[in-house]
Chain A
Amino acid sequence: MVEPIEWATLSGELEERENERGKLCLYLTDGWRAENLQAESLKLSTVAINEFYVVLRLKNTPYWENSEWENLPMEPDHEEKSSPPHEFVMNSNPLFAFILFPIELSEILYGTAAYGVVKLLIAVPLTVGLIGLVLRLCVDVWVHLHRSSHLSKEGRR
């Protein structure tokens, strides 16, 4: 059968343990036991209390002032997404360095508020425009070559 510590000896008990361990010692017991307790006269002070329990300390303990409390989250935690760091690297392929130039240039703005808008709303359309330009150049070269070979055949005839 476990018996609680006597109120009269509690402050002495706490003081002895604090001196022994060099840190704050508290006393946790059932709240109903502490009803009508003359804490002041027993050199005790209440740290926390609820419907079931009470936590007491020595009133003049030197360790109380340096105490620290844990920062408990009041709301359930949620994960925050972190984005990977970017490196600004120019594409080594000359053709794609040309086509992707607007997108690569927009990378300079990485981390700023304008980055997403510039990359998606400006760099992408410009890239499509450059694809059109390259396509047209290819078609022109093809037509030119085709016409020259056609003309040379005509000339031979």
Chain B
Amino acid sequence: MKVEGLEGMYAGLTPQAGLLIVGILTTVCIALHLLYRRKVSKKTLILLSIIFSIGFLSSVAGVLASPLISGVDGPYYPYSVRELLEGDGLEEPDQPVVFYLMAIFAVVVGDITLGVKLAQALFPSLFIPVGFALIFYLTKKEQLSLFMVAPLVFIACALAAKICILKNMPAMVLALLFYLFFIKLARGEGRTLDFRIRKLRAVLNENFLISLFLFGMMALTHFLTAGFIFITVVAHLAFQLGYFRRLPRHELAFTGILVMVISAGLLLPIGTRVLSTTNSFAEGALPIPTEPFPFRLSSSPEAPAYHFLPLIMLSIAAFYFMIKERKYPSCVLGVSLLTGLLCVQPWMIDPLYGFRFGFLTLLSIIPMIALGASLTRKRHPKVSGSFFWVFALFCVGMFVGMGLTAGPLGPGALTVEQWEYSAGLREQLPDNCILTTGYPEYILEYEYWDKLIFDRDVKPLCDVEEAPLSLEETSTRLMDRQYEFQQPCLLLIPHQAIEDENLRRLGLKNTGIQNQKTAVLELRDEIAFLTDLGDEVPINVDILVSLPDLENEG
């Protein structure tokens, strides 16, 4: 079966893609109907379905606005899906959920990039129904829950089109669901299962098992999110002990099982990788400052925690009301916020990764604000209203702010023009060669662009500031590079750079591999075979050269 979009640009919106979009919308709406037909009014159900549909369709429009794959780590995902479909396996086989889902989408629509883009649109939109479920459970108010999830349309669209970290997003949706069932568990709700052992019967109920299942799914989707949720669960116990001076039985039992499951998981081969990643995250942190108040809102100016300041302030107010109203189980949300703010400190983990924890604080912030609004509604209606309006303004502001961001999307993102320089060469390139370049068009900031477009890394012959090199300099450095690696090196070069040039004189020749904008050169055989001798000849020797043909050629 022919699949398009192999190099990060989708070929066009196919009828299959339209069917998939309709299929997703129908599935989610039917699921909402089945889950909520007896709990909320028909009007609320219809409105929720409409809000989700708007969120999903505007996210689809957002991601399809750029023909290239976009978002944080954007090219990594189509590259992984392509590897998976070609039978080469996944680079991260222990976190496969999202990749398999994207592969199914890609096969259905017949275009890898389009399939990945539709997944990018879907996951942030799922915050709407899942957010509704959690907020409605916490507040028991249909109208308020709808009001709170409506602005999420803006956030979903902005996240899908501009950020969309594809492994984080589905894990974050699962995390929100996890909070819902964990709070239910903490409240002691749910049917108990018919166990013969009385102590087990008292603890193991349906919410216990659903929470455990959701945690497992989260771990199979994104380690960091699952790790963060685990820290939150343990921190919840510690907070209950510190503040409420009680150790809740259900959560304690759940944490015990979780610790056992995780410990067993760490004994598997993936455990070593998880431990070493955790260690490198922690070891990259800065030392704890000795100043009186060492806390920062973000580890870098770009970190989301910094941007979420108005929401964090609101959440802290909501946390105050939660504690005041003695809503013990809901405190897990406040603890999650505290944990996220603690983990984002540059002295906790490598500042490069701090933003991911800052991003995870969003999980607890939205339901907390909703709960705060609900708790203050009777006594302080104005305060309650301000909770909603600040949230709504933030969502719209985020949407407008991100939409106005000029230029291509995501770190290291390419423009279509840049992409055209490199696209279409992958299948012409031979195996076992190293790609090099001295031209800025091919020095791509994000390594997975190289892998997606060329199926291998491109080794620049110079820094991007030094590029473009002169043709003479390029040729010399290519020889050095080929001597160094003792492997054939190919040179990516724009057509206009070699117009009217005597390539033979420079020791170069055209391989015939090309696209509209780029030619691929290599060293002439006479030069290439000279460099091949490199590893066999001792160093610090004098060599008498007698190559009359080359020398006579000048």
A residues sitting closer than 8 Å to B (CB atoms) are 1-5, 13-14, 17, 21, 23-30, 47-48, 50-53, 55, 63, 67-70, 72-76, 81, 83-84, 86-87, 89-93, 96, 100, 103-104, 107, 110-111, 113, 115-117, 119-122, 124-136, 139
Contact = CB atoms under 8 A, between A and B. Distances in A.
Please classify how large the interface on chain B is, using the bins under 10, 10 to 19, 20 to 34, 35 or more: 35 or more
A55 to B, nearest CB: 6
B227 interface: yes
Interface stretch (B22-30, B150-158, B368-376, B536-544): B536-544
Given A2-B552, A86-B287, A89-B288, A121 B231 contact: yes
11 contacts: A26-B537, A28-B543, A69-B539, A70-B535, A91-B288, A113-B279, A116-B283, A121-B227, A129-B235, A131-B239, A136-B244
Contacts of A91: 288-290, 294
A80 B539 CA distance: 27
Given A1-B552, A2-B552, A28-B544, A128 B235 contact: yes
Nearest to B241: A129
Contacts of B551: 2
Nearest to A119: B282
Return the 10 tightest CB-CB contacts between A and B, nearest first: A129-B238, A132-B242, A67-B538, A48-B536, A132-B243, A116-B278, A116-B279, A133-B242, A52-B529, A128-B235
B292 interface: yes
Contacts of A139: 323
Given A48-B537, A125-B235, A25 B543 contact: yes
Contacts of A132: 238-244
Interface in B328-376: 335, 338-339, 342-343, 347-349
Interface of B: 227, 230-231, 234-235, 237-245, 275, 277-284, 286-294, 323, 335, 338-339, 342-343, 347-349, 434, 457, 459, 483-486, 525-526, 529-530, 532-549, 551-552
Contacts of B294: 91, 96, 100
Contact of B293 (A48, A89, A96): A96
A69 B535 CA distance: 7
Given A81-B284, A116-B277, A116-B283, 15 more contacts: A2-B552, A5-B546, A17-B544, A21-B542, A23-B540, A69-B537, A86-B287, A107-B287, A117-B279, A120-B349, A128-B235, A128-B238, A129-B241, A132-B239, A132-B240
Nearest to A92: B290
Contacts of A93: 290-293
Nearest to A131: B338
Contacts of A63: 541
Contact of B547 (A26, A28, A67): A28
A117 B235 contact: no
B248 to A, nearest CB: 13
B283 A115 contact: yes
A14 B544 contact: yes
A63 B263 CA distance: 60
Contacts of A100: 288, 294
Contacts of A103: 288, 347-348
Given A113-B279, A115-B279, A117-B278, A130 B242 contact: yes
A111 B235 CA distance: 25
A113 B338 CA distance: 26
Given A23-B541, A27-B544, A51-B529, A73 B275 contact: no
A69 B538 contact: yes
A14 B293 CA distance: 75
Contact of B343 (A48, A52, A90, A120): A120
B484 A72 contact: yes
A51 B530 CA distance: 10
A8 to B, nearest CB: 14
B546 A124 contact: no
A35 to B, nearest CB: 15
Contacts of A110: 283
Given A84-B286, A128-B342, A73 B484 contact: yes
Given A28-B546, A125-B235, A116 B281 contact: yes
A4 B548 contact: yes
A124 B235 contact: yes
A92 B543 CA distance: 66
Nearest to A18: B542
Contacts of B545: 28-29
A55 B535 CA distance: 12
B330 to A, nearest CB: 14
A126 B292 contact: no
B281 A120 contact: yes
A134 B434 CA distance: 59
A129 B279 contact: no
A89 B287 contact: yes
A122 B434 CA distance: 46
Contacts of B538: 24, 47, 67-69
Nearest to B272: A113
A64 to B, nearest CB: 8
Contacts of B526: 52
B457 A76 contact: yes
A30 B553 CA distance: 14
Contacts of A117: 275, 278-279
Contacts of B279: 113, 115-117
A131 B323 CA distance: 14
Contact of A50 (B231, B235, B339, B529): B529
Contacts of B539: 67-70
B237 A135 contact: no
Nearest to A26: B543
Nearest to B286: A84
Contact of B544 (A2, A5, A70, A115): A5
Contacts of B552: 1-2
A136 B541 contact: no
Contacts of B525: 51-52
Contacts of A70: 534-535, 539
Given A136-B242, A136-B243, A29 B546 contact: yes
B275 A116 contact: yes
